[in-house]
Amino acid sequence: MELEELQYCEKIRQWLADRYGSGADAIWQKTAQIYASWLAEVPDYGGKKNGHANAIYGGMLVFALYAALPDQPPISKLEGFV
């Protein structure tokens, strides 16, 4: 699933804006780049046709977000996104 198809993006972007202010957009762009590079390497899980795909791709998004964050907060801060 492409990043824009995931239901979690708006909530994550708001969290980034609240936590990182003006740096949020740069972090989101880095997250999107990481996600896209990983997406190119994973098998197709069926997208929206597979009820579990949101969890798979959402998990991948959270890992990409964590890799893009400048301060690597506790993972517990990210658990609620997916």
pLDDT of residue 21: 97
pTM of the full predicted structure? 0.88
Q: Supply the range of the domain harboring residue 59.
A: 3-81
pLDDT of residue 64: 96
pLDDT of residue 39: 93
Q: What is the mean pLDDT of each run of 10 residues along the chain (82 residues)?
A: 89 96 98 96 82 86 95 86 76
Longest C-alpha distance within the chain, in Å?
A: 37
pLDDT of residue 49: 79
- Total of domains in the chain: 1
pLDDT of residue 37: 97
- Cα-Cα-Cα-Cα dihedral sign, residues 36, 25, 68, 48: negative
- Cα-Cα-Cα-Cα dihedral sign, residues 52, 60, 76, 30: negative
How many other CB atoms are found less than 10 A from the CB of residue 47? 12
